Structure 1
């Protein structure tokens, strides 16, 4: 006689095992999504830009891109801070890569638009630029990243004064230049260059200061005296400031922004 076949038993999974399998399936799906979206994740790479500004200064950035793969799709965009005007520490997030209409682009440079307010009226302002350059290979001027903390570029802004118009009103022009490691003013614009490799997620900081003493816009057209700067005239026979030559001859007066008639700057009267 043959023994009857043994019955087959199906074991019901416990809730914990079922949830574990469900979690494993979700993990696998997430991993597949990560792999599929790898390119789009790269497109969101960025770095943090900070600007430490003097009082009455503000800054915005214009980012310039080139095609990543030899295509012809350069472009640029303006990035402005949403922080209140007058904030002296500006922070911007600047994308390193992006994709526009199927064209992949990489960041090549950032032009920093500096605005300084020198008077109370809205038009009493002047613009100057600084720049950041992103290099794929190191050069003599490429700055290395520190082991920790931000990569800092130092700059100094100088207010330059002159007279304009038939009434010879004082106007001011902003000039910002880079500072070297010893704090010496350079001829180049504020900012500098850095390597693309390692830039993602890091912070780059521009620290701007203002020179304590203002200078004439036209060098040699004003004479510095113990009481202040006096505008020369007489060389070309006009009623405006001109190059100083001996014997010195000075303008009778010029006007300060508030309308005062003055003979020396910035003290107004001798």
Structure 2
């Protein structure tokens, strides 16, 4: 199910903002239930409210960021203002662009990421609107999987995070995790993104690893220097590779056969 395609680049503003009603913002909470070593970054985007003809010069300060420094201090709960006024123009929340982050080793670059989104539109068809329970909480689901590959002269293992939308039973679809709501659904409510993680990893792309008892072996390719190293039907010539912790191994993920 795809509600919207594409994510535009936006600027971010972390200043305190006021709402439309007596200086007190009308808000809702976004939160996430994530696997260990996961976090999210969020950009809440705003657009002129319905019926407004004003605009913000250059579109500046029409977005607010949350958990942008997720490595230093991550907070799962983000209080999202439904309305803002920027350069005298009344704005309303239109979507939250989400960046799911996950660490697979201790080095700063050993992270993977994928995207998700919350859409806020009054013209959503009922079948695409999220629903809330009696406690005022709505949950949408995603399922992520690590994809492994080798990189560089030493064939070091690096990982790619692949996340898809899912239902409550864990059945996945092709698109990234996404949820949709109308504005009048959100005041004082909580929207939760719940992400599960596959127990097993898969190769990043086909015909580069061969599955064997106990794991996967890396095809040699033309030589150890061959960065693509496709198997091309050769299921007997394999190479070593380097784990993120520095071990030289012959089978993934167990290292030794």
Interval containing the TM-score (normalised by the shorter chain) = 0.7 to 0.9
Deviation at 1:186, TM superposition (A): 1.5
**1:49–1:94 CA contact under 8 A, matched in 2:** yes
| Pairs aligned (count) | 232
> Which of 39, 53, 78 lines up with 1:92 in the alignment?
78
Q: Distance in 2 between matches of 1:39 and 1:51?
A: 27
Deviation at 1:237, TM superposition (A): 9.2
Q: 1:205-245 CA distances to partner (integer Å, 9 max, x unpaired)? A: 11112110011111332111112111224379963353333
Residue 49 of structure 2 corresponds to residue 63 of structure 1: no
Q: 1:257/1:233 Cα in 2 relative to 1: closer, same or farther (>3 Å)? A: same
Provide structure 2 residue ranges, at least 5 long, that are not aligned to the other structure.
1-18
Q: Give runs of aligned pairs for residues 186-197 of structure 1, distance below 5 A.
A: 186-197=173-184
**1:233–1:240 CA contact under 8 A, matched in 2:** no
Query: 2:22 aligns to what SS in structure 1?
Result: helix
Q: Distance in 2 between matches of 1:90 and 1:71?
A: 34
Q: Distance in 2 between matches of 1:81 and 1:245?
A: 43
Task: Name the counterpart of 1:47.
Answer: 28
Provide structure 1 residue ranges, at least 5 long, that are not aligned to the other structure.
1-37
Q: Distance in 1 between matches of 2:211 and 2:182?
A: 45
Which ranges of 4 or more aligned residues in structure 1 deviate by more than 6 Å? 81-87
Q: Distance in 1 between matches of 2:104 and 2:71?
A: 19
Q: 1:118-167 CA distances to partner (integer Å, 9 max, x unpaired)? A: 00222221222211001112324222333444100111121111100011
Q: 1:47/1:82 Cα in 2 relative to 1: closer, same or farther (>3 Å)? A: farther
Deviation at 1:201, TM superposition (A): 0.7
Q: Distance in 2 between matches of 1:161 and 1:188?
A: 20
Q: 1:140-197 CA distances to partner (integer Å, 9 max, x unpaired)? A: 4222333444100111121111100011100111122111243112111113111212
What TM-score do the two structures reach when normalised by structure 2?
0.81
